[in-house]
Copies of this chain bind each other. A is one copy, B any other.
Amino acid sequence: MNENAPQNFTPLSSLGEFGLIDRIKGNFTPRNAEVSKGIGDDAAIYAIGNGEVHAVSTDLLVEGVHFDLSYVPLAHLGYKSVVVNLSDIYAMNCVPFGITVSLALSNRFTVEAIDAFYQGVKKACEFYGVDLLGGDTSSSRSGLMISVTAMGRGRAEEVVYRNGAQVNDLVCVTGDIGAAYAGLQILEREKSVFLKNPEIQPDLGGFDYVVGRQLKPEARKDVIEELRTANVRPTAMIDLSDGLASDLRHLCRDSNTGATIYEEKIMVDHQVHTIAEEFQIAALTMALNGGEDYELLFTVPLDVFERISMVKDVYVIGHIEDVSAGVNIVTQSGGFFPLEAQGWNHFRESE
Contacts and interface: CB of A to CB of B under 8 A. Distances in A.
A98 B54 CA distance: 12
Nearest to A140: B62
A46 B100 CA distance: 13
Contacts of A281: none
A282 interface: no
A193 to B, nearest CB: 9
A74 B4 contact: yes
Contacts of A137: 20-21, 60, 346
Contacts of A27: 118, 122
A104 B62 contact: yes
A113 to B, nearest CB: 6
Majority-rule SS of A interface residues:
mixed
Interface string A1-35: 11110111111111100001101100110111011
Contacts of A230: none
Contacts of A102: 58-60, 147
A205 to B, nearest CB: 14
Interface of A: 1-4, 6-15, 20-21, 23-24, 27-28, 30-32, 34-35, 38-39, 43-44, 46, 48-50, 52, 54, 56-66, 69-74, 97-98, 100, 102-116, 118, 122, 125-126, 129-143, 145, 147, 149, 151, 190-191, 194, 198, 201-202, 346-347, 349-351
The 8 A-B residue pairs whose C-beta atoms are closest, nearest first, are A147-B147, A44-B133, A10-B111, A139-B350, A149-B149, A28-B132, A58-B100, A3-B73
